[in-house]
Amino acid sequence: MITQKSQLRRQLRQRRAAISIAQRQSAAWVITHYPQILQKLRRGKKIALYVPVGSEFPTWPLIFLALQRGCFVYLPIVPSSGRQLRFVRLDQNSRWQLGAFNIPIPQHPEQCSAKDLDSVFVPLVGFDTTLARLGQGGGFYDTTFAFRRTRKSWLKPRLIGLAFACQQVDALPSEPWDLQLDAIATELAWLRRL
């Protein structure tokens, strides 16, 4: 299964990388108008997003919109050891530095536990019709949100994948620890788990 996932990651990254800059920017703005996303970006809500790296779905329009609407915005920090992400506040007082994998991260004294977030917008390499997620392969999001698998009714935070439509496949190979998303936003549709 590891080989199958690696091959799929390579193919899907190639698809994602082939998207033009204009298409990327257009897709990023399209999702900011989805009523389902606007409903999540309410004043006082704790929202986690990510800084896009390489060909990942661009998040800056969504980050700016969340800040404008009065959300508390947090970005993940990849640990130097282990797989538990930390979430640090992004606001006008934040200063930037390079973190693990040369990902820009804000410096801010305020952090938020993964369990206290209301909605988390997650990057992905691929997804399928069941909203299974294929990530980069590091297991950071799977590990950080593993607590959700033991809950039966209360599934806070809501996990929303951000992707281009071309990243969808019919079915992903999955392991019991793989993250299941609540919804996925692409430039063409809002998909949610039934």
C-alpha 187 chain-centroid distance: 15
Task: Give the long-range contacts of residues 106-113, CB within 8 A, separation 24 or more.
Answer: 106/75, 111/74, 111/86, 111/87, 112/46, 112/48, 112/72, 112/74, 112/87, 112/88, 113/87
Tell me the average pLDDT of the chain. Answer: 92
67 to 45, 49, 59, 88: CA distances (angstroms): 10, 11, 12, 14
- pLDDT bucket at 34, cuts 50 / 70 / 90: very high
Identify the residue with better confidence: 3 or 138. 138
Buried b (16+ CB within 10 A) or exposed e, 64-95: ebbbebebbbbbbbbeeeeeebbbbbbeeebe
pLDDT band at 41 (very low <50, low <70, confident <90, very high): very high
CB count in 10 Å sphere of residue 33: 9
3-state DSSP call for residue 87? strand
Amino acid identity, position 31: I
Banded model confidence at residue 176, pLDDT cuts 50, 70, 90: confident
One-letter amino acid of 138: G
Across residues 33-40, what is the average pLDDT?
96
Could you tell me the fold of the domain covering 2-192? Rossmann fold (3.40.50)
Looking at residues 144-157, what average pLDDT do you find? 82
pLDDT value for 103: 86
Confidence tier at 170 by pLDDT (50, 70, 90): very high
Q: Residue 1: pLDDT band by 50, 70, 90 thresholds? A: low
Asked if pLDDT for residue 151 goes beyond 90, the answer is no
Q: Structure tokens of 134?
A: 């294929």
Mean pLDDT of 13-34: 96
Domain ranges of the chain: 2-192
- Residue 9 predicted with pLDDT over 80: yes
